[in-house]
Amino acid sequence: MLRALRRRALAGLAPVYLVGGPLRDMLLGEPIKDLDFVVEGDAPALAQSVAQELRGETLTYPRFGTATVVLPDCRVDLVTARRETYPKPGALPEVMPGNILDDLARRDFAINALALPLAQRRPALLDPQEGMADLAQGIIRTLHPRSFTDDPTRILRALRYEQRLRFSLETETWSQMRAAIRDGCLDTVSGDRLRRELERILEERRPAQALGRAADLGVLAAIHPALKDGSALKKLASEGQVPVSGLTCLAALAYPLTPGQEAGVVRRLVMPGTWAKVVEDTVALKSLAGKLAEPGLTPSRVYRLLEGRAAEAVCAVSQLTSSPMAAQRLDDYLRRLPLATAALNGNALLALGVPAGPKVGELLLKLRDARLDGHANSAAAERDLVHRWLTSEGGLAQNG
């Protein structure tokens, strides 16, 4: 793909540039995830010609001047170089065709405003914002003072890069961010756009750290006032070595919510069903902690209390609850989850003489409880139990 674009660029057919993330990551010695290209001209047309040569497919979005070339082993985005202006803070920008410098000037941070011209035989990196110096110093810096007000989602992007690259926010950038948050810039951003950036954070290796920072800076409270308490996120982040999944972090975000607050947060971020379930289950499980700490609770009883709850919610509450007994039971539940199916199935029960009908389901549940409580740990032991139940329930014995 790169070679096909390079050939066209060298032949003077298309001024194409490799831009942004891949150059940043290459310079940092990090693995490159995707290649992004900018074309001074018609990106969809170029994408089509390359896809034809490589026998791939093209997805084109002529309205946005963008296209994706899909090959069996990769997807590559091509964008028409553009200039952007923001008519209103937080709104989507107005877009006009532009050149590569315009395109670099619309970017979020100097470390992403890099371009490599494929049309040059010995390409010299374009670095109009001095992003290379920032990469060397480990700094995240906006390109102009209104950057966060124009597009407040950049606040979440900055915190994501800060934690991923272990970089620092440049002093001015830090002040701009604080001012933008204080001035309520996040109020104007749609839930969809915020959620997409949060999603990107949850995909990172250290999501709790980035969200903990967002809580400290008041970003989460600005997104929804009920999210102002970041202590659960920070506790999760400080657990240190144990990697935490994205959805477990989402659960920690939801942990401080009181019943009734979660619906508002789910609505504000237009959360998909999986997220909403994690949030709701976390709040529900937090209020079950007292019950989960009661003495004498058997594993099967715990199972019934927790059955169907999102595993990430269980995992987060076990790490965050102040009750060691509840934490132990939640952990234990997660460990025993794979045991929660009996070795025997319905047909095996029929073969043992259980009459067809509701009794089968009832005994399968009893078998599951027995397994969870350690009273049966093999198919043979389960068969013995069924025989015992059948003989003790005289009415069924005739079938056994």
The contact set with ligand ATP (CB under 6 A) reads: 20-21, 36, 107-108, 112, 151, 153-154
108/281 with CB nearer ligand ATP? 108
Minimal distance, residue 373 CB to ligand ATP, in Å: 47
What is the C-alpha separation between 335 and 66, in angstroms, rounded? 47
Minimal distance, residue 154 CB to ligand ATP, in Å: 5
What is the C-alpha separation between 176 and 197, in angstroms, rounded? 19
Minimal distance, residue 140 CB to ligand ATP, in Å: 12
Minimal distance, residue 276 CB to ligand ATP, in Å: 25
151/312 with CB nearer ligand ATP? 151
DSSP per-residue letters across 5-42: HHHHHHTTS--EEEESHHHHHHHHTPPP---EEEESS-
Identify each DSSP E strand in the chain by its residue range: 16-19, 36-39, 57-61, 66-71, 74-80, 82-85, 94-97, 115-117, 139-140, 168-169
108/382 with CB nearer ligand ATP? 108
Minimal distance, residue 192 CB to ligand ATP, in Å: 13
127/151 with CB nearer ligand ATP? 151
Residue with tokens 């999603």: 199
254 to 184, 224, 250, 310, 337: CA distances (angstroms): 22, 11, 6, 13, 24
Nearest Cα neighbor of 190 from 96, 267, 134, 110 is 267
93/355 with CB nearer ligand ATP? 93
198 to 45, 80, 157, 211, 219: CA distances (angstroms): 33, 27, 9, 9, 11
Minimal distance, residue 110 CB to ligand ATP, in Å: 10
Minimal distance, residue 169 CB to ligand ATP, in Å: 16
Q: 57 — phi, psi (to 5°)?
A: -120, 160
103/280 with CB nearer ligand ATP? 103
22/299 with CB nearer ligand ATP? 22
Minimal distance, residue 221 CB to ligand ATP, in Å: 21
- Residue number, nearest CB to ligand ATP: 21
173/319 with CB nearer ligand ATP? 173
Nearest Cα neighbor of 295 from 323, 319, 315, 314 is 323
> Which distant-in-sequence residues (6+ apart) come within 8 Å of 200 by Cβ?
156, 157, 160
182 to 32, 140, 192, 219, 221: CA distances (angstroms): 36, 20, 22, 9, 11
